[in-house]
Each structure stands twice: as C-alpha cells, then as structure tokens.
A and B are shown apart, each in its own frame.
Chain A
Amino acid sequence: KQEVTQIPAALSVPEGENLVLNCSFTDSAIYNLQWFRQDPGKGLTSLLLIQSSQREQTSGRLNASLDKSSGRSTLYIAASQPGDSATYLCAVRRVNRDDKIIFGKGTRLHILP
C-alpha cells in the first residue's frame, strides 16, 4: 500500500532564505509525482509535475526533484517571499489500473517578513 509522508508538518523560515520541503513515499512503482500549493480556504494549485522517468523539474524559483529508488522528492524554493506562505502538498500517482493519486498531509510553510 502506497503511503506518502511530508515532514515537517509546519515550517517557519525568514524571508529571503532558500528552503527545502520533503516528500517520501513507500512504493517506488509510481507513474508521476505532483507538487501543489494550497492557500487557506482555497483549492489546490499545481506547481510542478515530475514523470517517473524524470529527475527534476523547474519553474521559476521552484525546483522539484525525484529519486524513486529512495522514495523521495524534494521541493526547493529559492529566495523565499512572504507570498510563498501556504500549505504545500505532494501527491503520487500509482502505476496500476485504478489511477488514484495518494496525497501527503502537507507542510504548512510560513515565511517571516
């Protein structure tokens, strides 16, 4: 059974620092992994999608990496800004017929001005 874990559950970082969010999964047979951002009371916004054959994806100040063998993904945020404060969730799409994705519980990020 695939389980997705995000540690820590909450993180506070001074503005301007670079930071890394972690996501781990128990079954390396994944189709892809997706990082989302969620602002309070809002829906999920897709940040980056990494296919199983890829090692990383970049978008602006964000870089996501994937290491299937160790069951880990990281989301790197460069030069953090107060507007980056949100909850970040990772989700793993499994390689099987039911096509479900499994979400982590998220990391709540607070950038201190």
Chain B
Amino acid sequence: DVKVTQSSRYLVKRTGEKVFLECVQDMDHENMFWYRQDPGLGLRLIYFSYDVKMKEKGDIPEGYSVSREKKERFSLILESASTNQTSMYLCASRTGGRGYTFGSGTRLTVV
C-alpha cells in the first residue's frame, strides 16, 4: 500500500513565523497535492506538483509556497504564519489513473 507520511500531527506556531509542513510518499508517485480543510468550507487545494521542481497554484495559494526538490517529498511553506492559517493540512499523492492517497493530516494552530 502507498504511504503518505506527514511529519507532524499537531503544530503550534506563533504569528509571523515561517512554517514548514513536510510530506513524503513512498511509491514513486508523480503527482502530489496540499489541501487545507476547514469546517463548513470543505477541502480546498493550495498547491500541487506534477513532477520534481514543478508546481502549480491551486484555488487558495496566497500566503503559501511549496518546494519539491525530490520526487518523494513535497513541502508546504507558510512564509509568515497568520491566525487565519490555523487549519487542518492534508497532503495527497497520485499516479496515472489511480485514486488519491492522503496522509494523516497536520493540525496547525497559529497563535
């Protein structure tokens, strides 16, 4: 089975900090995705990547950036964390016509 591992289950950061959320998949998938999930708003796509060093903006990229230096790792970066970025962050990967595999999520609180 494909595994998507998010390095932290819970994070608490201060406003203005630079925050890194890490995601690693172990099945050589080309495509990786970052979502955030908020009550009443559902899942919203932040950024995705088709391959190493490639990135595409999703629906809500403002305040975020990403890095994909290696195929298995896709990092989400909050350049200057703000309280409205408090959320559940979910990473996913996919290859070809297969379905998506999600990680267990990172609950980020910005204080």
Interface residues, chain A, CB within 8 Å of chain B?
31-32, 34, 36, 41-46, 49, 51, 89, 91, 98-101, 103-106
Contacts and interface: CB of A to CB of B under 8 A. Distances in A.
A100 B45 contact: yes
Interface string B70-111: 000000000000000000101010000111111111010000
Contacts, number: 45
Contacts of A98: 56
Given A49-B98, A49-B99, A42 B105 contact: yes
Contact of A31 (B6, B97, B104, B105): B97
Given A41-B88, A44-B100, 17 more contacts: A32-B97, A34-B100, A36-B102, A43-B6, A43-B103, A43-B105, A44-B92, A44-B102, A45-B102, A46-B99, A89-B43, A98-B56, A99-B31, A99-B50, A103-B42, A103-B43, A106-B42
Contacts of A104: 42
Nearest to A104: B42
Interface of B: 6, 31, 40, 42-43, 45, 48, 50, 56, 58, 88, 90, 92, 97-105, 107
- Majority SS at the chain A contact face: strand
B42 A105 contact: yes
Contact of B102 (A32, A43, A99, A100): A43
A89 B92 CA distance: 15
A105 B40 CA distance: 8
Most chain A CB inside 10 Å of its own CB: which residue of B42, B50, B56, B99: B99
B89 to A, nearest CB: 10
A34 B99 contact: yes
A98 to B, nearest CB: 8
B100 A46 contact: yes
Contacts of A103: 42-43
Given A43-B90, A44-B90, A106-B42, A101 B107 contact: no
